[in-house]
Every structure is written in structure tokens, then in C-alpha cells.
Copies of this chain bind each other. A is one copy, B any other.
Amino acid sequence: MAKRVTDKQKSVLKFIADYVEGNGYAPAIRDVAEAFDCSVKGAYDHVVALEKKGLIERAKNRSRSILLATKGKQVLQIEEPQRVPILGRIAAGVLSYADHHVEDFVSLPLESMAEDGAQLFALRIQGDSMVGAGIKENDIAIFREQQDANTGDIVAAIVEDEATVKFFFRQSGRIVLKAANPLYPDMYFSNELRVLGKLKSLIRLYN
């Protein structure tokens, strides 16, 4: 059971997706049959096969109840707008996606922002330490979760039990965090720095 997905099955899957897209509701099995100019049972077999392979979900004896399962969307490469949590206080440097730490959600405004399944999180910028890089207080910064970084990256890191956003540099064996504001001194670390992620995008609201 559940071998590979055949070309025919893929095209049936695509028909279903297109039908839903176009009509707002799923096709009846007879609609599939008509589209592929085959018998009702032929279409039925395809639908059952797709169901068995987990590409679609369906309710028994219910008309037009086909849903594209996550797996089916993957096959067709349909991407949904990803929702990224805006984290509030980050206690003791642990990234937690638990409800009580999530302030709100942003959905990614551009499809190009979604990455190969990388974990993303967002922080609200506090203070003016990065104004020189065009990052202002209350901006929403979206990070890709990662424990390391390259020189020149803008990162979120834990400094004194607080999340902070700074430029990341490696200088002669040490790590340096630099603000983009001359009023803030550079901070030096000898490797025990807890990096949370790397800045991927920024969202600002006016008014």
C-alpha cells in the first residue's frame, strides 16, 4: 500500500485543487469523471487511491467533501501564508513558542520569505540601538532560528537575560555585538553568547 504517486493521480489531484480554487467547493466524483472523460467508477478509484495515499481527506457518503491534505498540497507545491509568532519576554534565553509567550502573529507578506521549513520567530524592537541600520523602536523583526551567525549578520541574542538585536562580528577569536548607534558601546563575548536567530525581515507600522 501507498506506493508512489502516478502521473495520472497527480493530474487528478491537480484537477481537484483547480476545481476548488475556481468554484470554492470540491468537485463531485462525477465531475472528476467528466473532466477525465472516464466512467464514474474510474474516477472513484482515483479518488480512493489519493485518499489511501493521504493526499486528500474525505468524509464517507458526503458529497463534495474532498479536502486537500497537507501532503497533497506538498505534492502540488501549494504554499500557504506562514504565520510567525511575535514573542514577548524571552525568559532566561530560551526560545519558547508556548502560548503565554506569544504576543501576536504575523503572516509572511511575501511568498519568497518562506524558507525550506526553517523555524521563524518575531520580536518587537525595543529602544533605538539599531537606528543606524534603519531599525526603529516598535518595528517587528523576523528572525530565522539558528544558534550561530556570520560576521555582519544582524542577530537576536540573549544578553543579561534579555533578548537584544545587534550586529554580529567575530574578531580575533571573540564575538562582538555592535549597535548601529554610537551611543551604545560594543559588547564582547568569549563564545558563551546565546544566539537566537538571524534577522530575515522587518515590518514597520506607521500611525
Cα-based distance from A70 to B136 in the complex (angstroms): 37
As a 0/1 sequence over residues 111 to 128 of chain A, the CB contacts with chain B under 8 angstroms (1 = contact) are 011000000000000000
Interface residues of A in 161-207 (CB under 8 A from B): 198-207
Question: What is the size category of the interface that chain A forms with chain B?
Answer: 35 or more
Task: Tell me whether A26 is interfacial, beta carbon within 8 Å.
Answer: yes
CB neighbours of A204 from chain B (8 A): 134, 201-204
Q: In the complex, which residue of chain B has the Cβ closest to the Cβ of A198? A: B206
Is A131 among interface residues, defined by CB-CB distance under 8 A? yes
Looking at A7-15, A39-47, A59-67, A88-96, the stretch in contact with chain B turns out to be A59-67
Interface residues of A in 17-40 (CB under 8 A from B): 23-26, 28
Beta-carbon contact of B206 and A67 below 8 Å: no
Task: Say yes or no: A205-B110 contact (C-beta < 8 A), given A26-B25, A134-B134, A135-B134.
Answer: yes
In whole angstroms, how far apart are the Cα atoms of A104 and B206 in the complex?
22
| The 5 A-B residue pairs with the shortest CB-CB distance in the complex, in nearest-first order | A202-B204, A106-B109, A63-B63, A134-B134, A24-B67
Residues of A bordering B, CB below 8 Å: 23-26, 28, 57, 59, 62-67, 81, 104, 106-110, 112-113, 131, 134-136, 139-140, 154, 198-207
In the assembled complex, 27 residue pairs joining A and B whose CB atoms fall closer than 8 Å, in A order, are A23-B65, A25-B59, A25-B62, A25-B64, A25-B65, A25-B67, A63-B63, A64-B64, A81-B81, A81-B107, A106-B109, A106-B110, A108-B109, A109-B140, A110-B140, A113-B205, A134-B136, A134-B139, A134-B204, A154-B206, A200-B205, A200-B207, A201-B203, A201-B205, A202-B202, A202-B203, A204-B204
